[in-house]
């Protein structure tokens, strides 16, 4: 490939990756701040600024285990065997498939997973463009397993933390308890936003590192620090401009939350995300916080959870991987018409 075309292709695919990262923050902004907004601890604009800052702060000192998994643990693109133009087409199509599905679910206010959209898009484009030999079955199986495991863990931790908090504050007057937890919820929201940035921004880092490695700008696969900064900047900007539609679903329609409940849900979800990030598992921040919110609501009584909304969300989750794979396959076919 001509050096000018190679450079243009590399820049173009990285731009799409950063656009996905921005969309990830935009789409998933509600995950970080829905409970803070619904409990009226902060107004929406202040809440997104708070979340965006902690999304960016996650760039410093939290490793790249998830980036390594996305980069080589789900689809293994070996530049010498695949070819640069095909690899670029697969990566770009995978990202575009994820962006299209995120845009659709954002429009309808459904909190689907940007992470699983990326996995579905990447795998779908790779299958169509190259074949099943580049799919890392064990890595894909791990992601599929944690589609189920992460919201369950989030739900259990949300439930347990809420139970402990209720026990500790059982002798407090309701107004006094809410006063304390309105302040503590700022801490739990920051903790959750930090964990959100840690897990989600690393997915884009992994993609960009694959692009640079495929193009020959890296002699082996690794994540340079400037890629880390780029990814966290993009997701933080996306979070800052994040939409109200999903905030309304996450924070108000699943169950009615008070500051104690918001603190419990954010803390349970953040612990779950940090555990998975340490293990290098790219999980869904959306699934995790949704499970934690349901766990908090279910502690009060099962009828406190609006199960109809939860069912709609589950349907979006089930559709995410196949639909993003479908859109990615179409994008790959269109890209190859011009490459």
**SS3 per residue for 214-235:** HHCCCCCCCCCHHHHHHHHHHH
pLDDT class of 251 with cuts at 50, 70, 90: very low
Q: Is the pLDDT of residue 160 over 80?
A: yes
Average pLDDT over residues 214-243: 90
> For 135, phi and psi rounded to 5 degrees?
-80, 130
- CA 223, 226, 231, 235 torsion-angle sign: positive
* Residue 293 CB contacts under 8 Å (≥ 6 apart), including other chains: 34, 35, 158, 250, 254, 255, 257, 261, 265
pLDDT tier at 137, thresholds 50, 70, 90: very high
pLDDT, tens digit, for every residue of 98-117? 999 988 887 777 667 788 89
**How many helices and strands (H and E) does the chain possess?**
13, 0
Q: Report the range of poorest mean pLDDT among 12-26, 176-190, 240-254, 308-322.
A: 240-254
Across the range 217-243, mean pLDDT stands at: 90
* Percentage of the chain exceeding pLDDT 90: 42
DSSP code string of 273-320? HHHHHHHT----HHHHHHHHHHHHHHHH-GGGS-HHHHHHHHHHHHHH
Whole-structure pTM value: 0.86
Most distant CA pair in the chain: distance in Å?
Answer: 73
Q: How crowded is the C-beta side of 121, counted as CA atoms within 13 Å?
A: 31
pLDDT of residue 35: 65
DSSP class per residue in 31-67? HHHHHHHHTTSS-HHHHHHHHHHHHHHTTSSS-SHHH
Is residue 244 scored above 70 in pLDDT?
A: no
Please check the confidence at residue 36 and state whether its pLDDT lies above 90: no
On the question of pLDDT at 254 being above 50, the answer is no
Which residue would you say has higher pLDDT here, 34 or 122? 122
Average pLDDT, the chain: 84
* HSE-up (13 A, CA, CB side) for residue 281: 20
Average pLDDT of span 250-259:
57
Element (H or E) spanning 20, and its range?
A: helix 3-38
More confident residue, 338 or 270: 270
* Residue 75 bridge partners (DSSP): 135
């Amino acid at each position: 490939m001509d050096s000018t075309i190679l450079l243009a292709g590399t820049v173009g695919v990285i731009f799409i990756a950063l656009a996905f990262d921005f969309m990830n923050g935009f789409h998933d902004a509600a995950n970080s701040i829905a409970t803070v907004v619904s409990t009226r601890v902060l107004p929406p604009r202040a809440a997104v600024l708070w979340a965006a800052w902690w999304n960016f702060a996650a760039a410093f000192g939290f490793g790249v285990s998830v980036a390594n998994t996305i980069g080589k643990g789900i689809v293994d693109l070996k530049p010498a065997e695949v070819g640069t133009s095909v690899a670029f087409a697969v990566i770009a199509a995978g990202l575009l498939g994820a962006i299209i599905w995120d845009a659709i679910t954002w429009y309808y206010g459904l909190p689907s997973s940007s992470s699983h959209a990326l996995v579905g898009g990447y795998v779908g484009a790779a299958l169509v463009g190259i074949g099943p030999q580049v799919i890392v079955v064990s890595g894909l199986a791990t992601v599929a397993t944690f589609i189920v495991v992460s919201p369950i863990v989030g739900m259990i931790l949300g439930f347990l933390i809420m139970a402990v908090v209720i026990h500790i504050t059982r002798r407090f007057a309701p107004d006094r308890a809410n006063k304390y937890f309105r302040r503590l919820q700022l801490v739990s929201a920051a903790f959750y936003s930090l964990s959100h940035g840690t897990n989600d921004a690393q997915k884009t880092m992994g993609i960009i590192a694959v692009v640079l490695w495929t193009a020959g700008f890296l002699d082996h696969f690794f994540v340079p620090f400037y890629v880390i900064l780029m990814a966290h900047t993009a997701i933080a900007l996306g979070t800052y401009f994040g939409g109200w539609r999903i905030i309304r679903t996450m924070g108000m329609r699943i169950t009615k939350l008070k500051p104690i409940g918001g603190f419990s849900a954010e803390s349970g979800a953040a612990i779950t995300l940090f555990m998975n990030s340490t293990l290098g598992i790219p999980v869904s921040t959306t699934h995790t916080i949704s499970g934690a919110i349901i766990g908090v609501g279910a502690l009060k009584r099962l009828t406190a959870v609006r199960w109809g909304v939860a069912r709609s969300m589950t349907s979006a989750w089930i559709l995410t991987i196949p639909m993003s794979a479908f859109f990615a396959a179409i994008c790959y076919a269109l890209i190859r018409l011009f490459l």
